[in-house]
Every structure is written in C-alpha cells, then in structure tokens.
Amino acid sequence: MAPEHGTVVVVEDDPHIADLVDLYLRREGFRVLQASSGERGLELIGQEHPRLVVLDVGLEGDMDGLEVCRRLRASTPGDVPVVMLTARDGEIDRVLGLELGADDYVTKPFSPRELVARVRAILRRADGPARSPAEVVVVGRVEVDRGRREARLDGQPVALATREFDLLQYLADNEGLALTRRQLLDGVWGTDWYGDDRTVDVHVRQLRKKLGDALPLATVWGVGYRLG
C-alpha cells in the first residue's frame, strides 16, 4: 500500500532507535528511509526530497547532527522541516539547534508517540490552508509570498527555515499588533507544542539576522514582538 503522508528520512546511528522511530512513523502512514551517517542522510534528503527529517544530534563520525542541519539549511531543499533527537538537554544545545534551523527537538529517552505527534503538528503547520499563489504581503522592503512560501528582500528570495517563514507569515498576518510570545507559540507552533518562550526569541533573532533592518520587527518590552 502506498504511504499516505509522504516520506520521512531518519538520520540515526543507533539501529534500535532508528527502527523504533521507523515503526511508529510507518504505522502513521509515512514512508520511512533510514541513514546511519550524516553523509548518507544528506544524500537521501537530496535524492528523495522528504516532507520531514528526523535527525540525531549525536551522530558518530566526521559529521554530527548539528553539522548536517547546517549543511541542509545551506542547500536545496533547505526548507524541509527538521526534528532533532538529542541526549543533551542543555539550553545551549537546544538554542544552537534552533539557530541552525531545526523546527523542533526531542530529548532522549523519548516517547515514540510524542515524536509522531510532533511530526504531525509540524507538517500540519507547514502545509497550512490553501492560499492563492498571488497573495503577497509587503512589510517594509520584505515581501511575504504565502502561496510560494517564499520571503523576498528587495525582490530577491531569502532562504528561511520552515519555522522562520511560518513566524514571519504570522507576524505579517497580524501586522501592527503587539503579540506575546505565547500568542506566537500558539499561532506558529500550535497549542500542542511542548517548547518554551525561548524558542520564539531564537527564531526572531534568525529573522533579524537574515532580513536585517529591512524588516521592521520591533521588540515590545514586557509583551513580545510587533511587525510594522
């Protein structure tokens, strides 16, 4: 039977964890491809153009998961959602992963059902409602093209990770409004997301880094952020 929900690439060098993730994702109707090294993972992602990647941070060898994520975000398809698996629960590791473009992280040991729930939540958000390809919001010198899921600065495309674009689009949809971090988490990551407010700050920092002063994104002290 053909997979219902598309392909997921699992990059994990522990065969027991890889097989467990494989089993639960297949039960949910995904086609799953496994890679035991970062190099093989990047090769599969380039060949298969998956809907999502599950990536272990602590890969052995010359390329750990953080380096895989960095290379993925610098290449095509650079916008594929990434869920990182990590045995390290420190804030620095989580923030670094998010800054490199990961969409979510799950700390080992983890519940396979929770991982599947996060995968489905990310894909629901990434797919979004059907929109007109011509629907574009212009804020400052930045264009937010909802149909193409593309951000442009002075007419030139800017590479954004999936969550970065989602956050930019949500801010653009609410231009002029001061939004709390909790409102942004609920609107972009969903009410069933397990993260904390720090995630919003990391993604705002990435938007500012990539779009600079061309994006009129202000910090509203004691509240959150406002675009425009």
What does the pLDDT look like over 59-118, one tens digit per residue?
988 899 989 998 988 875 557 899 988 876 656 666 777 777 888 888 888 888 888 888
Answer yes or no: are the C-beta atoms of 211 and 151 closer than 8 Å.
Answer: yes
- Cα–Cα distance between 80 and 69 in angstroms, integer? 10
- Per residue in 14-69, pLDDT tens? 999 999 999 999 988 899 999 999 999 999 999 999 999 999 988 988 899 989 99
Q: Which residues pair with residue 158 across a beta bridge?
A: 151
Strand partners, 52: 8
Say what the pLDDT of residue 131 is.
47
Q: Band of the pLDDT at 12, cuts 50, 70, 90? A: very high
Q: 206 near 130, Cβ under 8 Å?
A: no
Tell me the pLDDT tens digit for each residue of 122-164: 887 766 654 444 488 888 899 999 888 899 999 899 999 888 9
The sign one gets for the Cα dihedral 159, 162, 167, 168 is positive
Token couple for 45: 């992602």
- Looking at residue 45, what is its pLDDT? 93
Does the pTM of the predicted model rise above 0.85?
no
Torsion angle (degrees, nearest 10) of CA 18, 49, 7, 202? 70
d(CA 111, CA 106): 9
Q: What is the pLDDT of residue 2?
A: 41
Q: Tell the CATH superfamily of the 7-127 domain.
A: Response regulator (3.40.50.2300)
Tokens of 161: 């990770």
- Looking up tokens 């994990």, which residue turns up? 12
CATH code matching the domain that covers 136-227, chosen among 1.20.1260.10, 3.40.140.10, 1.10.3720.10, 1.10.10.10 = 1.10.10.10
Cβ contact 84:195 at 8 Å? no
Question: What is the distance between the alpha carbons of residues 186 and 195, in angstroms, rounded to a whole number?
Answer: 10
Task: For CATH 1.10.10.10, list the domain ranges present in the chain.
Answer: 136-227
Among 210, 214, 135, 118, smallest CA distance to 173 is for: 135
- Which residues, other chains included, contact 24 with Cβ-Cβ below 8 Å and sequence gap of 6+? 112, 113, 115, 116
Helical H runs in 49-109? 65-73, 91-99
Contact 167, 103 (CB under 8 A): no
Q: Tell me the CB-side half-sphere exposure of residue 15, using CA atoms within 13 A.
A: 0
**Tokens matching residue 160:** 């954004």
- What average pLDDT score do residues 219-226 get? 89
Residue type, 143: E
Quick one: which of 174, 208, 226, 228 has its CA closest to 99?
208
Q: Where in the chain is CATH 3.40.50.2300? A: 7-127
